[in-house]
Amino acid sequence: MTISASASGAAQGMTVVARTQGQMVRRRFFRHRAALIGMFAFGFVILLAFSSIGFGPIPGWWDKTYLTTGSLVNQGRPTLSVVPEFLGGEGIHLGEHPFGQDNIGIDYFALTMRGAQQSIIVAFIVAIVATSVGTLAGAFAGYFRKKTESFIMRLTDVMITIPILIIAAIVGRTFGDSGIVILAICIGLVTWPMLGRLVRGEFLSLREKEFVEAARAVGTSASRIIFRHVLPNTVGVIIVSATLAVANAVLLESALSFLGVGVQPPDVSLGQLIDTYRSAMTTRPWLFWWPGVFIIAIALSINFIGDGLRDAFDPRQTRVRA
Amino acid sequence: MIAFIVRRLVTSFFVLLAATMVIFGLTSIAGDPLADLRELPGADGERRMADRIERMHLDDPVWLRYLNWLTGLFRGYLGVNRDGQDVGVMLGDALSATLQLVLAATVLAVVIGVCVGIISALRQYSSFDYGVTLAAFVCFSLPLFWVAVMLKQYIAISFNDWLRDPAIPPTVIVVLALIAGLIWAAIAIGDRKVKLIAFGAGAAITAVILTLLSVTGWFADPGIGLIGLAILAGGTAVGLSMLISGLQYRGPLYAALAAAGLGVLLSEILTPVLADPSWAEIFGLALATVIICIALGYGLGGLLRQQAITGAVLTGLITGGLIFVDRLLQSFASYSDMVRGRPISTIGAGTPNFKGDFWQTNLDSAGHLLLPSMALVLISLATYTRYSRSSMLEVMNLDYVRTARAKGLPERTVITKHAFRNGMIPITTLMAVDFASVIGGAVVTENVFGWQGMGTLFTTGLQQVDPAPVMAFFIVSGTAIVVFNMLADIVYAYLDPRIRLS
Amino acid sequence: MTTSPKEILRVEDLTVEFPTEDGVVHAVRGVSYALHEREVLGIVGESGSGKSVSSLAVMGLLPRGARVHGKILYRGDDVLKLPTRRRRALRGGKIAMIFQDPMTALNPVHTIGDQLAEAVLAHGLIPRKQALARAKEMLDLVGIPQAEQRLRSYPHEFSGGMRQRAMIAMAVINNPDVIIADEPTTALDVTVQAQILEKLLEVKDAVNAAIVLITHDLGVVAGIAHRVLVMYAGKPVEIGDTDSVFYRPRMPYTAGLLGSMPSLETSGGRLRPIGGAPPSLINLPPGCPFSPRCPLADATCTAEEPALGEAGEGGHLAACHHWRAVAEAPDPTALFHIESEAVS
Ligand SMILES: Nc1ncnc2c1ncn2[C@@H]1O[C@H](COP(=O)(O)OP(=O)(O)O)[C@@H](O)[C@H]1O
Ligand code: SF4
Ligand SMILES: [Mg+2]
């Protein structure tokens, strides 16, 4: 006894929404000012880190490397100046060593850039591994239930009892010497449980939905249901957590390296730089400032991007603007 | 309930057992436990290597060493570290320092974070909300160790230097007053005029207080004083009554005011008791406070007895807390002398061989706790703020909150009775998760501040490929996490009657 | 209507707008009606036509940021101008509301008794015992068995129908003059819908209240309402005595609603739904908002929005340029196509 705005009308509405879902997400994201700033800032950091000193065989535009020592100029103080002359400063220029030099004369800009490169690489690998494993585990647990679920959930129980930093530190101590890629993969392999639980939760609510029932009723295979029907609907949650996982991984890696159980020499990372020059803190504070600033810049910009994505995928709370 | 706890404990036991296996195994293969001895030349090195191999059973396979450790554990023996020191003894000293740190940080983060988050939600899209959101994002993105080093380097050392001559420069007063004014204006609701008034009031009050504190040299010999105590306790009573029952009802207000007044009065009468009490006495006093306040609420509450009791008890406890802080502050000057004028400590969990009365000893712990917990709080604070904000926002839009308003309940009741309790339900789950990360954070913080706590046990053990201390750390922290999780579940069930613990 | 009963609620030219990121939503665009003592006024319209928003505006329960204009007169006082405290006293005191979804309208963490007693205590300080006694009395009134024990139950221990009864009890606990029931039966099982509706009327008589009965289902108001207001796209498009509106609709939309209602009397049991969907409330096209879906639409309709005007005797008003054509049609519902034809 209801006034259906006619079934066909509703159906039309549905298809329109489906076609423009991606566009709507994109539009909402690009309206999120903080997320845009975050994206530009992060893009800038990546560009700077990889183009300045080059990467692998590709040379960069910065004329010093992070390996060559040199004579100390002005006790290794930063030569970067951003105060223009008419304001009583030294004018805007980079100088010989914009970020200063360390105690054996290595150009600290080159070193910081190298650290940023490796920190970013580690963070991305950690996030990708953790997201993939977490998604798969969560998807299987959420879809199959019963034995599979209880096995995966008990596994995450065990992992969650151990603080992430602790398990990562133990893994880092074991694999730190094997290079940053192995290290990052191993850290990723122990940090997935939270994400796994999140995805499982999404799956649990989705698997009761009609379209999954329908797919099951016509005999679609389990893997097809998981990958074709359910997973695409959790994509928002996964993308958002993956983004935030990158930010967390940057922080985690730097904390591990600071504790001496992360990236090991000859590799450098931002956290490791801070650890290395910790004792120089009082005499050469810039050795401490620059890597810190870059860690914060990277983590902050990624967090903003993540927030923008969350709003874009789930706009519930931004309806009325007073 | 009992069944739930027992079942939880049994599963938790097996979960922990599995985790010890993982950690023991990984730690044992994390490197070469003899690395430092291999460089020693000659027979001495070889003898010490043989010693260590025997002590750590390095000739046995890892699983046998694990079983060995496990049987020891069930007999209450935590083993020895690679140099033969008893880990149980090492743990004893480390434990209380770390637990203090972790608990202080968690409690502070929850209380402050939830309050800020709720205000932020209630003032959605205000400049306060935007400010808090931005600050939370910055906190999320701060590396803990970096913050800790910064605090140590800049706050502690400069603050101690400043304490020698604790005058606040006028420019600093102006800047702080302006900031305070902006915060007031951001929280105030209303048109531009209201905001301007709030700004002016906030800035003026802050400026006056800071100037007073500066010219009287308050920071050199701080204290709240009887008048300050009376004002703060009275304010607490009025504020709480406003929140709990509304000021138009006399009963609860009088009960709270009576609790405050009695507290202030007793702080004078009890001076001899408070000169050098023990913790037992403090707890006794707290208990007495609760009982007296219940009586006050019961007697004066009238028709709003329940609210009156809540208000009176809270007021009484807060007044007691204020008296405690006042006493602590009063012994600040003497304490400061005892530590040669550097009360904010940057190293260790306590001044070595410190001897003082109750207040001085506690001040010593507080001085050592201050910076590490500040660093630790900063990280969880952002999490709690964000979660309670979004949780409150979500709840405030729910149908039953609308129903509560439709009944004609005042907004105060709608928020405290209907929205708050529901909004806190997801926070309990968050607490369980966050507690683990605070323990992880404590490892980093202890490292920076040179505490001989459990974190050190862990980091050194890990560096030296020495499982016994690492396992001791994990047994304690893992148990703490499990217990905390269970508490969170119990609180959850208490808050949400739909959940039955069984 | 023999002696004209006193008017208690009058809404005049009420408009509600929501500024959103996508533009201003014109949710209610000039609603006026009057409610008399003990009267039942039905408000009918498709979902999204502004029924709930206009009643929430009367209650003062719209979210912050909503812009409300017009007049809402309760016994002559404009409630929009009342100070907060008096407005609050009215809410739940003299004007009460029942919501659509009883599953979410009760707070899950407090007992039923507590939530009922609280409604009493919000409007007068009496001992809690008395408030609970009143709550029990109300649960008895709405037909919840073992009321005494039920006071201590939590909402999740109640069925949907029982929760809606509890909501009704909560609404009448302070003897209101006006009960606004926003789709009180929509979320319920068909089997209990009639019981709840009956209970609502019974309780209304017990406390001598008037009811604004909101529904998207004409069948609900048919046997109950004295007068009916039909809303479309935030506007009243037809208002009149229930019989006039049902048997002599003057507006194609109302006719469409009647045609899409399964009943034996109209259109021989075949459904004649209205094709298309309601317009966006952000960018309303000029002219009659119904014109894209209206079988009678012509150039006048798309050019000019019709005003609500006299369209029959007994205060029957309609907003349609061609209401005479509707009036002359032997069966206005036949203006719309039968279901199978409607799929275009
Ligand atoms: N808080 C809000 N913000 C923006 N739009 C709203 C809000 N609440 C309601 N609306 C819009 O107002 C219109 C009328 O809604 P409503 O009164 O709930 O319709 P109904 O007639 O189904 O009760 C809808 O289009 C809805 O989307
Ligand atoms: S005014 Fe025109 S379009 Fe609107 S209802 Fe009447 S006939 Fe239809
Ligand atoms: Mg509605």
What is the pLDDT, as a whole number, of residue B502?
Answer: 61
Spatial distance between the Cα atoms of B147 and B22, rounded to a whole number of angstroms: 31
Domain A113-313 fold is MetI-like fold (1.10.3720)
For residue B344, the Cα-to-chain-centroid distance in whole angstroms is 18
Whole-number Å distance, alpha carbon C231 to ligand 2 midpoint, is 14
- Nearest Cβ partner of C127 from B303, B402, B425? B303
Q: How confident is the model over A110-136, as a mean pLDDT?
A: 89
Residue B378 contacts residue B441 (beta carbons within 8 Å): no
What is the pLDDT, as a whole number, of residue B250?
Answer: 86
What is the token pair recorded at B99? Answer: 């637990």
What CA–CA distances, in Å, run from A199 to A137, A236, B260, C75, C156?
Answer: 8, 11, 51, 55, 28
Spatial distance between the Cα atoms of C223 and B502, rounded to a whole number of angstroms: 50
What is the pLDDT, as a whole number, of residue C14?
Answer: 95
Residue B353 pLDDT > 80: no
Nearest residue (by CA) to ligand 1, atom 23, is C52
Tokens 């005595």 belong to residue? C241
Quick: pLDDT tens for B398-430: 999 999 999 999 988 899 889 998 998 888 888
Domain span at residue B277 reads: 224-340
Taking contacts as CB-CB distances below 8 angstroms, the residues of chain B near A165 are 437, 440-441, 443-444
Question: Domain C7-37+49-225 is in which class?
Answer: alpha beta
In a domain, B178, yes or no: yes
Residue A267 pLDDT > 50: yes
Whole-number Å distance, alpha carbon C90 to ligand 3 midpoint, is 22
Q: How confident is the model over A112-133, as a mean pLDDT?
A: 90
Spatial distance between the Cα atoms of B364 and B348, rounded to a whole number of angstroms: 11
Spatial distance between the Cα atoms of A2 and C154, rounded to a whole number of angstroms: 32
Host H or E run for residue C179:
strand C178-182
Residue A150 contacts residue A104 (beta carbons within 8 Å): no
Taking contacts as CB-CB distances below 8 angstroms, the residues of chain B near A321 are 125
Spatial distance between the Cα atoms of A308 and A40, rounded to a whole number of angstroms: 13
Residue B62 contacts residue B28 (beta carbons within 8 Å): yes
Sign (positive or negative) of CA dihedral C104, C110, C114, C119 = negative
What is the pLDDT, as a whole number, of residue A6?
Answer: 35
Same domain for B182 and B245?
no
DSSP label of B75: T
Residue A317 pLDDT > 60: no
In a domain, B20, yes or no: no
Residue B226 pLDDT > 80: yes
What does the mean pLDDT of chain C come to?
Answer: 87
What is the pLDDT, as a whole number, of residue A10?
Answer: 35
Same domain for B260 and B315?
yes
Spatial distance between the Cα atoms of C187 and B143, rounded to a whole number of angstroms: 50
Cβ–ligand 2 contact at C255 (below 6 Å): no
What CA–CA distances, in Å, run from B436 to A156, A159, B383, B431, B483?
Answer: 14, 11, 13, 9, 11
Local confidence band at A7 (pLDDT 50, 70, 90 cut-offs): very low
When divided into structural domains, chain B yields a total of 2
Chain-chain contact of C122 with B407 (C-beta, under 8 angstroms): yes
Same domain for B262 and B331?
yes
The residue that leads in pLDDT, C340 or A7, is C340
Query: Which range has the worst mean pLDDT, A317-321, B62-66, B165-169?
Result: A317-321
What is the pLDDT, as a whole number, of residue B6?
Answer: 86
What is the pLDDT, as a whole number, of residue C105?
Answer: 93
Residue C157 pLDDT > 80: yes
Spatial distance between the Cα atoms of B388 and B113, rounded to a whole number of angstroms: 8
For every residue of B439-502, which 3-state class applies, written as one string? HHHHHHHHHHHCCCCHHHHHHHHHHCCCHHHHHHHHHHHHHHHHHHHHHHHHHHHHHCCCCCCC
Pick from B129, B146, B387 the residue to mutate for testing the A interface (most A CBs within 10 Å). Answer: B146
Residue A93 contacts residue A242 (beta carbons within 8 Å): no
In 3D space, the residue among B192, B146, B62, C83 whose CA is nearest the CA of residue A277 turns out to be B146
What CA–CA distances, in Å, run from B371 to B101, B152, B292, B324, B374?
Answer: 10, 7, 36, 21, 5
Taking contacts as CB-CB distances below 8 angstroms, the residues of chain C near B306 are 128
Residue B349 pLDDT > 80: no
A258 in contact with chain B, both atoms CB, cutoff 8 A:
yes
What CA–CA distances, in Å, run from B73 to A208, B87, B455, C167?
Answer: 46, 11, 20, 59
In 3D space, the residue among A270, A316, A313 whose CA is nearest the CA of residue A293 turns out to be A270
Q: Which chains share 3+ C-beta pairs under 8 angstroms with A?
A: B, C
- Nearest Cβ partner of B406 from C89, C97, C154? C97
In 3D space, the residue among A119, A56, A95 whose CA is nearest the CA of residue A302 turns out to be A119
What is the pLDDT, as a whole number, of residue B501?
Answer: 66
Model pTM score: 0.85
Residue B102 pLDDT > 80: yes
Identify the top-confidence range among B31-35, B235-239, B364-368: B235-239
Query: Chain C: residue nearest A4 by CA?
Result: C273
Query: What number of helices (H) and strands (E) belong to chain C?
Result: 14, 12
Beta strand pairing call for C178-182 and C40-44: unpaired
* Residue B185 distance to chain C (closest CA, Å): 19
B145 in contact with chain C, both atoms CB, cutoff 8 A:
no
DSSP string across A113-146: HHHHHHHHHHHHHHHHHHHHHHHHHHHHHHHH-H
Residue C55 contacts residue C42 (beta carbons within 8 Å): no
Strand partners, C236: C231
Which residue type occupies B162?
W
What is the pLDDT, as a whole number, of residue C118?
Answer: 92
Query: Chain A: residue nearest C190 by CA?
Result: A1
Residue B120 pLDDT > 80: yes
Q: Is the peptide bond before A266 cis (omega within 30 degrees of 0)?
A: yes
Q: How confident is the model over B44-71, as a mean pLDDT?
A: 81
Spatial distance between the Cα atoms of A97 and A95, rounded to a whole number of angstroms: 6
- Residue C75 backbone class (left: φ over 0; alpha: ψ -120 to 50; beta: rest): left
Beta strand pairing call for C95-98 and C178-182: parallel
Quick: pLDDT tens for B280-327: 988 999 999 999 999 999 988 888 888 899 999 999 999 999 999 988
Host H or E run for residue C36:
strand C23-36
- Nearest Cβ partner of B497 from C88, C154, C167? C154
Chain-chain contact of C343 with A8 (C-beta, under 8 angstroms): yes
In a domain, B404, yes or no: no
Query: Chain C: residue nearest B418 by CA?
Result: C107
Spatial distance between the Cα atoms of A262 and A173, rounded to a whole number of angstroms: 7
Chain-chain contact of A2 with C217 (C-beta, under 8 angstroms): yes
Cβ contacts of B56-62, under 8 Å, gap ≥ 24: B56/B82, B56/B466, B58/B33, B58/B34, B62/B24, B62/B25, B62/B28, B62/B29
Nearest residue (by CA) to ligand 1, atom 26, is C48
Residue C151 pLDDT > 80: yes
ipTM of the complex: 0.90
Quick: pLDDT tens for A76-89: 677 666 666 666 66
What is the pLDDT, as a whole number, of residue B293?
Answer: 93
Q: Classify residue A60 as exposed, middle or buried by CB count within 10 Å of its CB (0-12, 13-18, 19+).
A: middle
The dihedral formed by the CA atoms of A13, A19, A21 and A22, expressed in degrees to the nearest 10: -170
Same domain for B189 and B293?
no
Angle between the C160-172 and C112-121 helix axes, to the nearest 10 degrees? 20
Q: Give the residue range(s) of CATH 3.40.50.300 domains in chain C.
A: 7-37+49-225
- Nearest Cβ partner of B406 from C61, C127, C154? C61
The fraction of chain B above a pLDDT of 90, given in percent, is: 20
